[in-house]
Amino acid sequence: MTKSESNSKTPVFRSGKASRRFLRNLVWVLAIGGLFLGGQGLRYFFHYNQLEEIRNETNALYVSALGQDIGGSPYGRLQFEHGKLLATNRIGLDPLRLLAALSRPADENLRLEGVTLSGKTGRIRGSFAGNEQGFSAYFDKLTDDDHYLFSLYKSDLVGDQIVFILKVELQ
C-alpha cells in the first residue's frame, strides 16, 4: 500500500478492540473505587468503635458519680447536684473547685481520705505513698494555687507512706 492509498482509505472501526479497552478501563476504575470504599469502610469501623468506647467510658463516669439511674440528661443532673452543694455552703468553699485544685498537681502516689469543709476553711486528710521529696514537690505546687491557701497542719511518716492533714482557706 502506498502513501496515497493510505490517505484515501477510511479507518476501520474494530468494536472488539474498543470493547476490550473499555472493559479493561472499567475493571481498573472498579478496583480503585473498591479499594477506596474499603478504606473508607475500615476508617468508619475504627471511628465507630472508638466512639462506642468513649460513650461507654462516659456512661461509666456518670454512673460512678450519679448512681445507676443517670436519667436523660446526666450532665444537667451533675450541674444540679453541684448547685445543691454550693447552696448548702453559700459563703464557704466550693467542694468541686477544691478537689480540682488538689488533683491538678497530684500523681498516682496521692490518696485523699477525707475532706471536711466548714464555711471558709477546711481540712484535708490523706496519704502520699512516695518519698518526702515527692510530697514536698506536691505541696509546693499546691501553694502556687491562685484561689486557695494551703498549709500543712500535720504530717507523719507511717511505714512507706506520709500521712498528712492540710488546712485550706480562700485567698
pTM as predicted: 0.49
**In angstroms, rounded to a whole number, what is the distance separating the alpha carbons of residues 160 and 158?**
6
Query: According to the model, what pLDDT value does residue 82 have?
Result: 83
Domain boundaries along the sequence of the chain: 16-88, 92-170
First to last CA, the chain: 105
Chosen CATH of 92-170 out of 3.10.290.10, 3.30.450.20, 3.40.720.10, 3.30.1360.100:
3.30.1360.100
Mean pLDDT, all residues of the chain: 88
3-state secondary structure of 1: coil
Q: What is the pLDDT of residue 71?
A: 84
pLDDT band at 5 (very low <50, low <70, confident <90, very high): low
- CA–CA gap between residue 88 and residue 62 (Å, rounded): 23
Q: Compare 53 and 89 and report the one with higher pLDDT.
A: 53
Q: What order of strands is seen across the sheet that includes strand 161-170?
A: 110-118, 121-128, 161-170, 148-158
**pLDDT tens digits for range 54-75:** 999 999 999 988 888 888 888 8
Q: How many CA atoms lie within 13 A of 154 on its CB side?
A: 8
* SS3 at position 140: helix
Spatial distance between the Cα atoms of 85 and 80, rounded to a whole number of angstroms: 9
